[in-house]
Homo-oligomer: A and B are copies of this chain.
Amino acid sequence: MGFTEILGYSAGVITTLTFLPQVIKTWKERSAKDVSLWMFIIAATNEVMWIGYGILKDDWVIILTNAVVLILSVTMIGLKLKYK
Chain A residues with CB under 8 Å of chain B are: 3-4, 7-8, 10-11, 14-15, 17-22, 24-26, 29, 31-36, 38-39, 42-43, 45-46, 49-50, 52-53, 56-57
**Partner of A53 from B11, B39, B49, B53 at Cβ < 8 Å:** B11
Quick one: copies of this chain in the complex? 2
Residues of B near A19 (CB, < 8 A) are 39
Q: In the complex, which of the residues A20, A32, A33, A53 has the most CB atoms of chain B within 10 Å of its own CB atom?
A: A53
Q: Contacts A22-B36, A35-B22, A36-B25 known; A11 to B43 CB distance under 8 Å? A: no
Residues of B near A46 (CB, < 8 A) are 11, 14-15, 18
Q: Which residue of B lies closest to A66 (CB)?
A: B11
| A35 CA / B21 CA spacing, docked (Å) | 9
Residues of B near A52 (CB, < 8 A) are 7
